[in-house]
Amino acid sequence: MSAPDDGRGSREALAHVVREHAGRLVACLVSLLGDFSAAEDLVQDAVETALRRWPVEGVPDRPDAWLLTVARRRGLDVLRRETNHRAKLARLRWPEPGEGDDRLRLIFTCCHPALSPEARIALTLRVVCGLSTAQIAAAFVVPETTVAQRITRAKRKIAAAGIPYRIPAADELPERLGAVLAVVYLLFNEGYLSSTGDRAEARDLADDAEWLAALLAGLMPGEPEVAGLLALIRLHRARGAARFDSHGRLVPLAEQDRSLWDHAAIAEATAALTRAARAHRRPGPYQVQAAIVACHAEAAGFEQTDWAQILVLYDMLLAVAPSPVTRLHRAVALRYVKGPAAALAELTGLEEALSRYPLLHATRAELLRALGDTDQARLSDERALGLTANPAQQALLHQRLDQAHGDVRYG
Amino acid sequence: MFVENEEFAARLEAMGELEREAAYEAVTRWFAENSGKITHHAHLAPAHTATTVRLDGGEPVVTDGPFVEGKEVVSGYAEVEVADLDEALKLARSWPACPVVEIRPIA
């Protein structure tokens, strides 16, 4: 047993141990019982017991066996009347290494398009990553009852609508994999964008997202988009230390101290991305986005950024996944290739689609300021400020409005 | 449940005789191809024939028209016997006629 400790570090370590084992145990129980909801309940009970007892008693030497024993005991208890389930539980054993990882089936079930997007996220976090309902609620700053309700409804729908527990067939795979990757990416964005000082107590969702992407990449080595998403997440996180200053304020990309970036991690992620792209020659939105981030990450300084290459990549991204937000980002790259006036002209076509998107107005403010129109720039910054709820973005915009002449760029 | 909307009705209306025949044939073929899974099906008469009885306001209220005055109306249904939702989705995807299909388990 490792020594008990009640600091944040040990809480995180506990969560990591649970994450490694809970999903595996649920997968194993669903296969055995053929009942997703019952399996999930048993494991969630075991996880909650672990989170209560491990901080006091220490983490057991075989946490997987511990969770299995608690889940089985609980199962024999609550499934008393269901002799069929009881007989199966009695045969329960931990899967031998090399038996294949059932968690892939679990992920596809949790991310089924017949579930609402919120339910997919909550269910994946709870079932695959082993988070408790309270942890999910804290991470998304919503009441615990809301999360509990989402999960209960989702489990009910899985049973009632007959959402299968299996990996989709080849013809459905691209679409279904897209839904899975979207959940992981949303999770990452939620964690990465809101990872400010005032949420320090909350679970780091970006960490869960990276873990999920790595798990998927290991389980689906033939899918370059999975490798692309993993590289994308790792490239962003490798620059995490420079994103906020000592006061928890967001630092724009142009002003980040690049010596704080994890250059080894950047090189590794870029190499993995290149390998996947070369091996499969099937580019997709995640690979292209990762390539764009790699361009930024590999530049020695902001002035050395290869904007022409980034512009080409944005055109590729727009070809595979057209979206107004991507066009906005492309306009930023265009500024450094063709100048602020050309970029500003691009924004005109995006006004309708992105009128409530703060980054559109913040970008316009920057371009107007670069062109010397400080009055209009101020109006756009104020508009952006009125639209963002993110405290770090708000702070950056306030700072910009205060020093009206500074040329501060968004990170 | 098969759901029609105004656009679909208009498109059907605008079709030439041959085209409409081909569309009906596609539907007939779909039912034939999936006959092993379809236990029961029915096409409903158009929404203008609908009469709705509301029982939730004390006295029952009878009105003309479908239960929701929406742009989309249920036009028929098929009861199918499938292993899971994915199989039902696959069937629905191959449906050749109206633009919306709602899948629901039978309670």
Predicted local confidence at residue A203, as pLDDT: 64
Chain B residues closer than 8 Å to A161 by CB: 85, 103-105
Reading phi first (left if > 0) and then psi (alpha if -120 to 50, else beta), residue B40 is in beta
Q: Please give the model's pTM, rounded to 2 decimal places.
A: 0.84
Chain A residues closer than 8 Å to B85 by CB: 112, 114, 161-164
Residues B69, A137: Cα–Cα separation, whole Å: 38
Would you say residue A168 has pLDDT above 50? yes
Q: Please name every residue paired with A138 in a beta bridge, in sequence order, or none if there are none.
A: none
Candidates B1, B85, B90, B102: best to mutate against A (most CBs of A within 10 A) is B85
Predicted local confidence at residue A28, as pLDDT: 87
Predicted local confidence at residue A121, as pLDDT: 93
Buried b (16+ CB within 10 A) or exposed e, A327-344: bbbbbbbbbbeeebeebb
Residue from A161, A213, A209 nearest A189 by CA = A209
Chain B residues closer than 8 Å to A172 by CB: 86, 90
Q: How far is B2 from chain A (nearest CA, A)?
A: 17
Contact present, A217 and A207 (Cβ < 8 Å): no
B86/A168 CB distance under 8 A? yes
More confident site: A322 or A202: A322
pLDDT band at A86 (very low <50, low <70, confident <90, very high): confident
Predicted local confidence at residue A411, as pLDDT: 43
Reading phi first (left if > 0) and then psi (alpha if -120 to 50, else beta), residue A314 is in alpha
pLDDT band at A95 (very low <50, low <70, confident <90, very high): low
Chain A residues closer than 8 Å to B84 by CB: 162-164
Q: Which domains, ranges and CATH numbers included, belong to chain B?
A: 2-101 (3.30.70.1060)
Predicted local confidence at residue A364, as pLDDT: 96
A161/B83 CB distance under 8 A? no
Residues A263, A267: Cα–Cα separation, whole Å: 6
B83/A162 CB distance under 8 A? yes
Helix (H, G, I), strand (E, B) or coil at A372: coil
Question: Could you tell me where the DSSP H helices lie in A220-306?
Answer: 224-238, 263-280, 285-298
Cα separations in angstroms, A174 against A215, A233, B74: 18, 20, 31
Contact present, A138 and A202 (Cβ < 8 Å): yes
Interhelix angle A103-110/A205-219, rounded to 10 degrees, is 120
Residue from A231, A227, A204 nearest A216 by CA = A227
Predicted local confidence at residue A196, as pLDDT: 45
Q: What is the DSSP string of chain B?
A: -EEEEHHHHHHHHH--HHHHHHHHHHHHHHHHHTTTTEEEEEEPPPGGG-EEEE-SSSS-EEEES-SS--SEEEEEEEEE--SSHHHHHHHHHT--SSSEE------
Residues of chain A above pLDDT 90, percent: 58
What tokens does A317 get? 């991204």
What tokens does A169 get? 């067939």
Instruction: Report domain extents, chain A.
Output: 1-93, 103-220, 222-322
Residues A306, A333: Cα–Cα separation, whole Å: 9
Would you say residue A408 has pLDDT above 60? no
Cα separations in angstroms, A218 against A101, A214, A215, A267: 10, 6, 5, 19
Predicted local confidence at residue A8, as pLDDT: 56
What tokens does A188 get? 């990452």
Class of residue A290 by CB neighbours under 10 A (exposed 0-12, middle 13-18, buried 19+): buried
Would you say residue A287 has pLDDT above 80? yes
Class of residue A33 by CB neighbours under 10 A (exposed 0-12, middle 13-18, buried 19+): buried
Residues A176, A10: Cα–Cα separation, whole Å: 36
Reading phi first (left if > 0) and then psi (alpha if -120 to 50, else beta), residue A339 is in left
Tokens 């107005």 identify what position? A361
Predicted local confidence at residue B55, as pLDDT: 82
A161/B86 CB distance under 8 A? no
